[in-house]
Amino acid sequence: MQITLKGGFTFPIMFAVLAAAIVLAGVFYRRAYGSLGRGPWQLLLGLRIVAIVIVVLLLFRPVFSYQRTYQERPAVVFLIDTSASMSVADGASGVPRIELARQQVERWCARLAQDFAVHLMQFSDRAMRLHDPSQLATLAANGRATSLSTALQAAVQQVPKKELEAVILLSDGIHNTARSPVEVAGKLGVVVHAVGVGASLRSHVSFRDVQVTGIDCPEQMPIHNKAKITGSVEGIGLRGRPIQVVLDEDGKPIQEAELTLDDVEGSQKVELEFRPEVKGRHTYTVRVAPLADEKIAQNNQRSAVAMVTEPGIRVLYIEGTTRREYGAISSWFLAKDPDIEFCSMYQTRQNTFVARGNLPDLVLKSIPSDEETIRKFDVFILGDLDSSFLRAEVQEMILRRVREGAGLLMIGGYHALGPGGYGGTPLRQAMPLRLGGRQIGQITDPFLPQLTPEGVRHPIFANIDGFFPTRAAPPREAGLPELEGCTKVEGPSPGATVLATNPLAGDMPVLAVQPFEKGRTAVFCGDTTWKWQQGPRALDQPTPFLRYWGQMVRWLAGRSEAVEAKASLAAATDKGLYDPEEPVKITAIVRDDQGEGTTSATVVAKVQGPSNRVDEVPMGVAPGPGGHYAAAYMPTTAGKYAIVVEAKVGETALASEKLPIEVGRVHLEFEKLDMDEKTLARIAAEAKGRYVHVSVADNLIEQLSKKVRQKTEKKERKLYWPPGLWTLFVAVLTAEWILRRRFQLR
């Protein structure tokens, strides 16, 4: 025990300061002794000395400290698995696993209570402390998932590591969350003993079970394209039994296959093929009807969630010069459309091309000349590029890709169409217009394309036909700038559909389309649509530019949807079903009021989980097409989640998108029921502990060290209290001042 001063000073210094201050106060009041008399003089001097003592205590801050030594029992933490798989009764006694674990822990608690500080925790996907051994009787095996890693981390947070003798984990070893419990155990810095509860169901001759052990389902599926989902099925004790494996889409059967079960340990694969017909989020389930002699029916199905989407459109756009049309199509259309991935190229000098785009997996330094690269694209746009730069074999590759379903567009220019020599190339056979020879020339008179009746009804002009005249009427939307002429052509090809003409050139076709086997082709003779965007946008007027080119590319790619000139938000998650502790990837596409993808929006995802707590996750701009945003969220527990994505463009709030997801499948705990001794043994080995089965675990408990730990605790008590002393100091000075006034002292 000792008294020290907080400021680091010594007691002689403190007493010297105190004595000096008291002496000075005495000298000060001595002059007033004659006029006051003995009693008042002593009272005023006493108040002044009290004030001095208070100030000295506050300055030097004396502290009384002492040490307390005592003995402390070592701590033991029991972790009891209460996940649903612990409800299985797989021993000869027919007692559920949870009951075996509970009975053992009750006996061990009574045995260890005298020598150890016993702590109890239950866990499934989360861990929770039990405050009293009496709570063991209330344990129920109903957890939807098992996280051994979460349980181990929670255990070491209950007791300081230096006081912890061991963590004892009682579980069947079934771990179905993302983090590795073996890695976590190796980093804890404490001893972990693992006690296995359960058995292998295969060891029972009478056991019969069929399990759907897995489902391999793509996260995204292109609509109307062949898709394949693979189910993994395992039968136990059912050799030679034929079963029907059924694939459901949103609860409705869409495909099935027959499978004859074998007796080889491991799953049998079943491939189920189909064509998704409806866009959006769908739940796909591989299931097997429960058999009459099965023990467990909860593991007879597996589900996954997939998005059926229109796949992104990949566009290759090649120009022979750096004309303004190239900049408009690349910067104002391709880079702004969230549904398009593109590579645009222009020639800077002879056979030297510069490329730009948003395809992260493709970097081009010249016109692609191999089949693999050509097949990556869905639409090809050829601008003012002379045919001599496009070798015949490359043109043949493009034609093959178009025959398979891609689109090809040629646009006008001084080195395009006929003037570019394409009238004598392999590509001419796919063109909906007869291009003519190199000397066919150009039309330089400004004009506005005149729609034919077929053009008014065509998807390329959906919702924008009012900007263009027809033979019967002028435009309904006035003010669209005229094109600065076009390239001449000879006329339409057989089987072509003319959508627009030049009324100043004898109704010469300027836009025509036609099917080409499974693909589509188009020729647009104009080359100055940049005026449709630059002029109206500068005057804040409506323009068909983005919708014209967007609908052109979508039609060439075989899509049917129209482009809308309005602000919108579309959001999605990468999956619908997640394992616990698996990150959720959230994406969003934001368009402004022109229908262009914008990177200046404020986007946030609000996630509400099973506890009803709402977490806000800001979403940042993602690489790739314009207007794409992304974020990741880590769920903390199993259950249903609701994700609401909100976006603001400027001060305008867009309609939000709600995305339901589920963490931990409904029957996740029944997908694997055999006790996993390997995992438990590895956990114990990494944490310098032992693994034993619950039936022989008493010896493990007996070997726990009962050595009492000596602990020294240092205590400090302040001999000063600033709030009280300052209050007393003010009171003393106030009393002294009042008395001095009463005694008529200055």
- Pairwise CA distance, residues 435 & 424, whole Å: 9
Angle value at C-alpha 317, between 314 and 323, nearest 5 degrees: 150
Checking if the pLDDT of 669 tops 60, the result is: yes
Q: State the alpha helices, DSSP H only, in 267-388.
A: 324-327, 371-374
If pLDDT is split at 50, 70 and 90, which confidence band does 349 have? Answer: confident
User: φ, ψ for residue 462 (rounded to 5)?
Assistant: -60, 125
User: φ, ψ for residue 412 (rounded to 5)?
Assistant: -70, 165
If pLDDT is split at 50, 70 and 90, which confidence band does 559 have? Answer: confident
> Domain map of the chain by residue range?
2-69+716-742, 74-198+677-707, 209-308, 313-556, 568-664
Among residues of the chain, what percentage have pLDDT more than 70?
Answer: 96
Positive or negative CA dihedral for 88, 94, 97, 99?
A: positive
What is the pLDDT, as a whole number, of residue 645? 95
Taking residue 285's Cβ as centre, other Cβ atoms within 10 Å add up to 20
Q: Which residues contact 153 (CB under 8 A, 6 or more apart)?
A: 184, 188
If pLDDT is split at 50, 70 and 90, which confidence band does 33 have? Answer: low
For 622-635, the pLDDT digits (tens) are 987 888 999 999 99
- Pairwise CA distance, residues 195 & 108, whole Å: 13
Nearest partner of 382 among 443, 325, 331, judged by Cα: 325
Q: Three-class SS string for 169-200?
A: EEECCCCCCCCCHHHHHHHCCCCEEEEECCCC
Among 133-137, 198-202, 408-412, top mean pLDDT goes to 408-412
Q: Which residues contact 327 (CB under 8 A, 6 or more apart)?
A: 530
Largest CA distance in the chain: 134
User: Strands 491-492 and 628-633: what pairing?
Assistant: unpaired
Average pLDDT, the chain: 88
Architecture of domain 74-198+677-707: 3-Layer(aba) Sandwich (3.40)
**Tokens matching residue 630:** 């992304």
Indicate the pTM of the whole model: 0.61
Q: Which residues contact 114 (CB under 8 A, 6 or more apart)?
A: none
CATH code, 209-308: 2.60.40.10
For 688-715, the pLDDT digits (tens) are 999 999 989 998 888 886 665 555 667 7
Checking if the pLDDT of 202 tops 70, the result is: no
For 246-260, what is the mean pLDDT? 94
Taking residue 318's Cβ as centre, other Cβ atoms within 10 Å add up to 23
Fold equal for 74-198+677-707 and 568-664? no
For 291-326, the pLDDT digits (tens) are 887 777 778 888 888 888 877 899 999 999 889 999
The crossing angle, in degrees rounded to 10, of helices 722-742 and 38-60 is 160
Residue showing tokens 């299985």: 88
Q: Are 228 and 273 in contact (CB under 8 A)?
A: yes
Checking if the pLDDT of 246 tops 90, the result is: yes
Checking if the pLDDT of 557 tops 70, the result is: yes
User: φ, ψ for residue 272 (rounded to 5)?
Assistant: -125, 115
CATH code, 313-556: 3.40.50.880
What CATH class is the domain 568-664?
Answer: mainly beta
For 359-370, what is the mean pLDDT? 85
Better pLDDT: 231 or 362 = 231
What is the pLDDT, as a whole number, of residue 316? 96
- Pairwise CA distance, residues 420 & 164, whole Å: 84
Q: Are 555 and 315 in contact (CB under 8 A)?
A: no
- Pairwise CA distance, residues 411 & 417, whole Å: 7
